[in-house]
Structure 1
Amino acid sequence: MTGHDQPKRPVTVLRNPHLSIEGIQLTSRHDRTREAHTQAASLPEAPVLHLYGCGLGDLQLALLQRPGLTRLYVHILNGALFRLVLQLLDQQDWLTDPRVELLYAGDLPEIQLPFFALPAELVLADDYNAKIRDRLISETHLSFNNRLFSADTPDIAARLVAIEPWVRADRDVAELFDLHPGREVFVIATGPSLEQHYPALRAVAGQPERPLLICVDTAYQPLLKQGIRVDLVVSIDQRISTRHLPGLGSEGVVLVYMPLADPLVVEGWQGPRYVGYSSSPVFQALRQRLPRAQLHAGGSVIHPAVDLAVKMGGRRITLFGADFAFPQNRTHAGWQDGELGPQADVARHWVLDGHGQRVKTQLNFRSYLCELERYIASRPEVAFFNTSRSGAMILGTTFHGDFVQ
């Protein structure tokens, strides 16, 4: 078995035995067997199970005790680490079981269910398996991340009540669907790489025959300051205020929003307004009273913006500023570091950029990237292009020859 990365971290073999790499324990140092049985108990009694990470073999042995298990797929998250374990400890008990199939996690484009992911190896995953690691973490954190988005949460409930008159009055986003069949669409986000494209976007925006320009809410002001007027702006976040989306000068620009939008933003907007929902349960009651079309949601405004581009008829969609990372140690284009979220200096996670190098990011950005990649994979009829190698590599896109930097 050949690893894709060599373990360069300090390695400590502890008694009993245990393994620690740079302070990261692969297993419990107190009772490995009990820990493995606790982990196994979280998995259903299914004939096929998936284990991400190899550990020291304890969880594999616990799962193989199940008489109804016919196949156990063990997905390696760090090849060099697995090779090290093989050198230090005998793993034949589970490796020779005919029900076990061993493979690299990164060899498959998507995670497999039901699964258990060993926490230590999510931290130690190598570059080759990073995309699957990100999907595993995103899936594991899903219910935790959604805990704040409940219609019973006081601030959410108050916002839904305040916005309802506007939802009732404004037009259904479905009216925009299929208006531009086959038209090229630029979807503009606020990653730092956007600043590289201001001159090109300014030139494109002034052309009579040009792609449709859709931007996310936080990109609207930076683009305006550069003299770039878009056709549509998409907003979903209750924290977006008139500071981000001022009404002055918005004539002729379409606002597409979801019902967590600030009523002051909606009231002040001078261009046409359209409203839609996501599939989130937070909108269930309002959706029943006031039916509107849905846009795809994956945690970030980039998801409904891209989905809108597709549903309007776009078949060539080019992404600008979709970095999902902090290239050059910056968070956003057109805003000070930390104005729209955590500062770049506190980032402790990474993704691979378009050069195959690690670039700093945060966990929620990695989840947003996973969801966009899944969406792109579900739309094979659409060609997606990226314009920067400095941000995260986006599976399913190709680099646009006229804009890539």
Structure 2
Amino acid sequence: MSEVFQRNTEVLQRRWPALLARLQGEAGEALQAELVEGLGSTLSVSGIQLTSRHDRLAEARLQAQSLPADSPTLHLYGAGLGDLQRVLLERPGLARLRVYLLNGALFQLVLQLLDQSDWLADPRVELACAGDSGEIALPFFALPSELVLADDFNAKIRDRLISEAHLADNNRAFDVADPRLQQLLEDSLPLLRQDPDVAALFATQAGRDCYVIATGPSLAGHLPALARVRAQAVRPLFICVDTAYLPLLRAGIQPDIVVSVDHKIRVHHLPPDASAATALVYMPMLDVELVGNWRGPRYSAYSASPLYAAVREAIPRAELFVGGSVIHPATDLAVKMGASSITLFGADFAFPGDRTHTGWDDGVLGPAVSAARHWVLDGNGQRVRTQLNFRGYLIELERFIAQHPEVRFHNTSRAGALIAGTTYAPEFCP
């Protein structure tokens, strides 16, 4: 054991013995690490530089500027080489610095090579694995290199950090000043005034089981079973998202309710010919031809988006939660209708089997599988390819589930993303 490593581990043993025991099980020596030199030097792990190779201290001071100077508690995700911790600990008003490890093996490697005992020994520092928390804490800074190098155990927190960092950019897609969106809203007003409030459906299915059906690849394997359940005299309520409607019809399954919120959805996604027995729950800006031709009951709703601020008072409607995907309002509708148990189908948030959706060709509803550059853990603990926005949708669904402990949530496929807060339905997923 090197003198540096011994000094570091002595501090860990004194302050966080349980964490040290976990770290000692990590294979830090197996990482591909090399020294990278410029005007200064840093470590490169698997081709990713942990810090600047020119001026680590200047980089750390720049990073520190993004955190509020007067906050008594700060949260740092990733330990890096200790530079940002040292800069933040210079603040006289800082009472607590919580450091969350995103890769245990990486931290163990750094402990072997560089003296970290100074900031580790500071009584204001708290150290933990990020994955031990269910949610991120604010205000935070996440070291960019360690977001890339995060290990499987800490992946869900990594995903939440990235989602939070992209939040401002994502919201620009719904800019209230966008004249196209304003025109779509204006075009929707006659139908909006005509159709009843979605609140008319609330509390009408108290205690009933509900199936919420999305369009992920795993839905295909469940279509025969769903057809059998649909034919039963006593059965769960079937709520589907818009893009699942047509695959269900083709399998002989008539959903009770279809939910649609995306202005890009058109009649070929939701053909009205066989819609008389299915209610449509929609939000303004959905294609007016589609809505106008729907033969079943129609109910209008809003999201929390400021886009609807101008019409909320004149045309009051209840809200459904939207977190980027139509699966969110579909699930919220089931909760508000009174469902005691919700079983999710096709909620994969990933591309198991290198497929994007059930019933649609690769790339028709979004980027093709070949464009996937990210991953999530599936129900078997294995990495499965996905898109960055799918990870964001998964996070928002998990947060929604956590807010509704009164409802039992079940998943039906281990091939898609593991959804925190759900259990696997044994009749569909042995």
| TM-score class, shorter | over 0.9
CA distance in 1, matches of 2:267, 2:294: 9
- The answer to whether structure 1 residue 338 and structure 2 residue 338 are counterparts is no
- Corresponding residue of 1:38: 62
- Residue type of the alignment partner of 2:330: A
- Corresponding residue of 1:25: 49
Which deviates the most, 229-238 or 28-37? 28-37
Q: After superposition, what is the alpha-carbon deviation per residue over 1:130-189, rounded to whole angstroms, capped at 9, x for unaligned?
A: 011111111110111110102211221111111111111111000000001000000000
Aligned pairs (5 A) from 1:211-360: 211-360=236-385
The number of aligned residues is 405
- Corresponding residue of 1:14: 36
Provide the alpha-carbon RMSD of the alignment: 1.1
Structure 1 runs, 4 residues or longer, greater than 4 Å off: none
Equivalent residues of 1:46, 1:69 under 8 A apart: yes
- Corresponding residue of 1:64: 89
Residue 339 of structure 1 aligns to a residue whose secondary structure is coil
- Residue type of the alignment partner of 2:321: H
Aligned pairs (5 A) from 1:25-104: 25-44=49-68, 45-104=70-129
Partner residue of 1:153 out of 158, 178, 190: 178
- Residue type of the alignment partner of 1:37: R
Cα 1:252–1:116 change in 2 (3 A) is: same
- Residue type of the alignment partner of 1:303: H
Shift of 1:289: 2.0
Q: After superposition, what is the alpha-carbon deviation per residue over 1:216-260, rounded to whole angstroms, capped at 9, x for unaligned?
A: 000000000111100000001011000100111100210000112
- Residue type of the alignment partner of 2:216: G
Shift of 1:268: 1.0
- Corresponding residue of 1:398: 423
Cα 1:9–1:84 change in 2 (3 A) is: closer
Q: After superposition, what is the alpha-carbon deviation per residue over 1:93-116, rounded to whole angstroms, capped at 9, x for unaligned?
A: 211111001000000111011111
- Residue type of the alignment partner of 1:371: E
Shift of 1:5: 5.8
Equivalent residues of 1:351, 1:392 under 8 A apart: yes
- The answer to whether structure 1 residue 114 and structure 2 residue 145 are counterparts is no
Shift of 1:345: 1.4
- Corresponding residue of 2:156: 131
Aligned pairs (5 A) from 1:354-373: 354-373=379-398
- Corresponding residue of 2:4: none
- Residue type of the alignment partner of 1:26: L
Shift of 1:329: 0.6
Shift of 1:29: 1.4
Shift of 1:190: 0.3
When the two structures are superposed, what TM-score results if normalisation uses the length of structure 1? 0.98
Partner residue of 2:203 out of 173, 178, 194: 178
Q: After superposition, what is the alpha-carbon deviation per residue over 1:316-363, rounded to whole angstroms, capped at 9, x for unaligned?
A: 100000000000011000000000000111111000000000000011
CA distance in 1, matches of 2:26, 2:242: 40
Which deviates the most, 24-33 or 229-238? 24-33
Which runs of 5 or more structure 2 residues have no equivalent in the other structure? Answer: 1-19
- Residue type of the alignment partner of 1:12: E
CA distance in 2, matches of 1:32, 1:122: 18
